[in-house]
Structure 1
Amino acid sequence: MSTSSAPSASSTSPTKTPKSSRIPKVPFWAQILAGLALGVLLGWVAKSNDLGWLTSTLQHIGDLFVQLLKLAVAPLVFFAILVSITNLRQVNNAARLATRTLLWFMATSLIAVAIGLAIGLLTHPGAGTGLTPKDGKLPEHAGSWIDFLTGIVPTDVITPFTELNVLQIVFMAAVAGIAALQLGEKAEPVLRLSRSVLELLQKALWWVIRLAPIGTVGLIGNAIATYGWNLIGKYATFTVDIYVGCALVLFGVYPLLLATVAKANPLQFFRGAWPAIQLAFVSRSSVGTMPVTQQVTQRLGVPREYASFAVPFGSTTKMDGCASIYPAIAAIFIAQIFDVHLAVGDYILIAFVSVIGSAATAGLTGATVMLTLTLSTLGLPLEGVGLLMAIDPILDMMRTATNVAGQSVCTLLVAAREGILDRDAYNSAQSISLNAAAAADAEEKVSVPAAA
């Protein structure tokens, strides 16, 4: 009969865990909130005490962050669109996927512009502001349908990159991508180089994205220090209208579509997509947020091959905030300031411009081109754009967050309808920090073959 041996000293003595000396990491969302709070505080201090040096410092910090984002925009858009188009050959029914993606982009834009028009008609944002036509000024660059249509095709291959004409860059990338599909294996060396350059650009952009909390301090602080709360008060109804309209789409329309069309839990969407939405709110750039948007969309169960097409495509053309809600309410606001009556036909034109012309926003900060395109179509004074330039940075944060959320939602809707959505991945998706998203993105690129 065997007897059990006495427990060893190692099994009885408690294991001492060494205390970690590392400083705990602050979640990215907390960093963003801290940046917002610090920016408001510093902006208020600069405005209250007339500290020109502090205002200038905040402006330089914000401008540098936006400049770093814009630095990567031109090559990032070109190679992302080129690679995304060629990735469609890895997907079954690619033409149908592309068509349905475009149709969902247009359908949700139509819903968004209808909400914007309804809010504008109910609240009369231009009434009682104290603003007059003389307060407006002509924009430096105005958009028109002729400029929009003729401006798609560049005169050379260099100028679109130096002048950051994203619409022309998208056109060249689409042509190059379609040509590469037609060439097949002959284009593979160029495609391998394009994938490598794209990964390099995305890695560099991840570094810029991590600076977002610092950029937030500068952007918000400069807005408060330069314009102050008094100016915001003049635009109170208009500002609230934009935020309410975007919130209705972001937290009302999108969840409803996910629940009814995709048969998916909307809370899971926000849990998984929140890193992209919060970064869009701060950076005010759909293109700058694109790597994060693509990463969270894939984590929500969309196949990489389809997400790598739909997200870059949406980042340059899908703008529910900037191209639908904003121009609809802004047109009503400007018409009331200039005492111009809008008829039913004018509201139909606003909807048409919003659905068809959204590519004019080009995924960059601001929506001035889209607004001037809308105003010129309606025959409204372009000086009205000058009335809205001061308040634009405050509005653009919510607009861009809505843009990015819409890009992910439409991608999920198409994937669900086509039966290619990984529902297990969707239901288990958790919110992650930017550091974790960057690490996951790097791991996927190592594990995925170059041709994928």
Structure 2
Amino acid sequence: MSAPSPQRRLRWPSFSVQIIAGLVLGLLLGWVARSMGEVGPAGHETPNWLTTTLGTIGSDFVTLLKAVVPPLVFLAIVVSIANLKGVANAARLAWKTLLWFAITSLVAVSIGIALGLVFQPGKHTSLDISQGSAPSHTGTWIDFLTGLIPGNFLGLGASTQITDGAAETNVSFNVLQIVVIAIVVGIAAYKSGKKADPFIAFSRSALAIVQKVLWWIIRLAPLGTLGLIGNAVASYGWDLLSPLARFAIAIYVGLALVLFVVYPVILRSNGLKVSSYFRGAWPAIQLGFVSRSSIGTLPVTERVTERNLGVPKSYASFAVPLGATTKMDGCASIYPAVAAIFIAQLFGIHLSLTDYLLIAFVSVVGSAATAGLTGALVMLTLTVSTLGLPLAGVGLLLAIDPILDMGRTATNVAGQVLVPVVVAKREGILDIEQYQSATADDLFSDDDADVTSAGAPAAAPGADDATEAEGELVGSAR
């Protein structure tokens, strides 16, 4: 009697394929929802049930991701720093990381300025400047201090809005403040020696639990993609692009140049295969495009940086969350450069060489000054106010901002992966074999394996991380 043949496990498509499937289905549902129109009496229209459902699915997914961010960032950085063999080496890595942030931002803003001058979007638009209005909140240089110095131990903030007599309080967190707190606590644990061993052991155990919860949430990414992209199509469509078509084209040309020209040149100049980078980083770039949130994408960004591309987790757990708050080539470089030139041209204001240098300065430094604040609006208003341009011009661009924000965030995330890879390669701590074989097809292949190495000390930067368990994530999360 022959032995029964083993049952074959159902093999799901790769994570990237699932994301693409969610994207396509979301586009179709979004088109259907938009064709249904709004409901309700004239003057009091509300979105139809399908648009509301898509919006709820997308926003709930991003909310779940953001909920895991504070404990993930804090625990990952505390454990990594506490286990470093040499703080001086970590300081050198941090300095080189910031240097590469500045270099790539300078290149990106230069491209943005050049495209603004070539496309001249402010001279080719049908917008009426009288329709513009200043945004309700703007960015200022004092935001650097308020964004860096923790207001409380958890980096939490709250705001209350009164609508129709009802008060609504929203609680938020500042990732940069959490990074600062975690660095201080991690260094203190490192300096405390054996007295801190119970605390470090607890942090490792808690980190393993948070990681498991995180990947349960990440598995919902295809569904979240469906809701996010579907709601974007249903709510905004493409008809709003007509009067700002040249501006939008200039932005996306700039984003494409940075993503597909500048980044590959940097990779090749450092002896790294471009195809391996995109294969490994693509899941994070995809999710950044549909979620429009670097913070929401950060867990996946950390995953692909460490696991797919071979960056040591002792370095990646610091560099990735730092990049998610200060490394924004799309939102903080290309977009404000082109937008500032657009506003100046629209209002007939001449920009001098000094003004263009100011745009570059704000791009390189301003992303840190506005870290922890929301979206590209703060960076744009900071640039516009620094140049003395009318803030009313900002209001004219808000109608198509969600459409532009998808490409901006994808470029942001790509840069947040690129810099740790390049720095790790230049420092000789990148697992080259793992990088060369990078693939996004098995992102969850060992997710169910026990995280047995979570309690083992992380290797210090410069040590060989090739023998560490691939499934372990010491991650972080904008």
Q: TM-score range by the shorter chain?
A: 0.7 to 0.9
Q: Is the 8 A contact 1:81 1:170 kept in 2?
A: yes
> Could you tell me how far 1:91 is from its partner in structure 2?
7.5
Q: CA deviation at 1:37?
A: 2.2
In structure 2, the residue matched to 1:6 is none
Larger radius of gyration: 1
Provide the rounded CA distance (Å) in 1 between the counterparts of 2:78 and 2:433. Answer: 30
- Per the alignment, residue 335 of structure 1 pairs with 344
Match of 2:15? Answer: 28
Matched, 1:447 2:436: no
Alignment of 1:30-429 (within 5 A): 30-51=17-38, 52-89=48-85, 93-157=89-153, 160-161=156-157, 162-260=171-269, 262-298=270-306, 299-360=308-369, 362=371, 366-429=375-438
Q: Deviations over 1:144-202 (max 9, x none)?
A: 01233344324434662533233333333333333334334333333333333333333
Partner AA of 2:241 in structure 1: I
Separation (CA, whole Å) in 2 of partners of 1:124 and 1:249: 20
SS at match of 1:163: strand
Q: Secondary structure at the match of 1:93?
A: helix
Identical aligned residues as a percent: 61
**CA deviation profile, 1:81-135 (whole Å, cap 9, x unmatched):** 4444434446882222221111111111111111111111111122332222333
Partner of 1:3: none
TM-score by length of 1: 0.87
**How far, CA to CA, are the matches of 1:409 and 1:338 in structure 2?**
37
CA offsets per residue over residues 258-282 of structure 1, 9 Å max, x none? Answer: 111x211111111222222222222
Distance of 2:208 and 2:372 partners within structure 1:
20
Q: Could you tell me how far apart the structure 1 residues matched to 2:58 and 2:380 are?
A: 24
The answer to whether the 8 Å contact 1:246/1:325 transfers is yes
Deviation at 1:308, TM superposition (A): 2.2
- Hey, which of these two has a bigger chunk of helix by percent? 1
Contact 1:323/1:354 (CA < 8 Å) preserved in 2? yes
Per the TM alignment, residue 368 of structure 1 is displaced from its structure 2 partner at its CA by 1.9
* Deviation for aligned residue 1:404: 1.9
Q: How far 1:332 sits from its partner (Å)?
A: 1.6
**341-350 or 214-223, which moves further after superposition?**
214-223
Q: Give the Cα separation in 2 of the matches to 1:341 and 1:192.
A: 60
Give, in whole Å, the separation in 2 of the partners of 1:58 and 1:112. Answer: 34
Supply the distance in 1 between the matched residues of 2:284 and 2:253 (Cα, whole angstroms).
Answer: 20
- State the TM-score, normalizing by the size of structure 2: 0.82
Contact residue 287 and residue 363 of structure 1 kept, 8 A? no
Amino acid at match of 2:131: D
- Residue 361 of structure 1 deviates from its aligned partner by 5.4
Equivalent position amino acid for 2:277 in 1:
F
How far residue 29 of structure 1 moved from its aligned partner, in angstroms, is: 2.1
Cα distance change on mapping 1:375 and 1:192 into 2, 3 Å = farther
- What number of residue pairs does the alignment pair up? 435
CA shift in 2, pair 1:311/1:168, >3 Å: closer
Deviation at 1:363, TM superposition (A): 6.7
Give structure 1 stretches of 5+ with no counterpart.
1-8
Aligned Cα root-mean-square deviation (Å): 2.7
Matched to 2:19, the amino acid is I
Following superposition, the deviation at residue 437 of structure 1 comes to 6.6
The residue type equivalent to 1:345 in the other structure is T
Asked if the contact 2:337–2:359 (Cα under 8 Å) also holds between the matched residues in 1, the reply is yes
SS at match of 1:235: helix
Contact 1:167 1:360 in 2 (8 A): no
Relative distance call for 1:252 and 1:23 in structure 2 (3 A) is same
Alpha-carbon distance between aligned partners in 2 of 1:200 and 1:380, rounded to the nearest angstrom:
49
Distance 1:321 1:363, change over 3 A: farther
Q: Shift in Å at residue 448 of structure 1? A: 4.7
Amino acid at match of 2:432: R
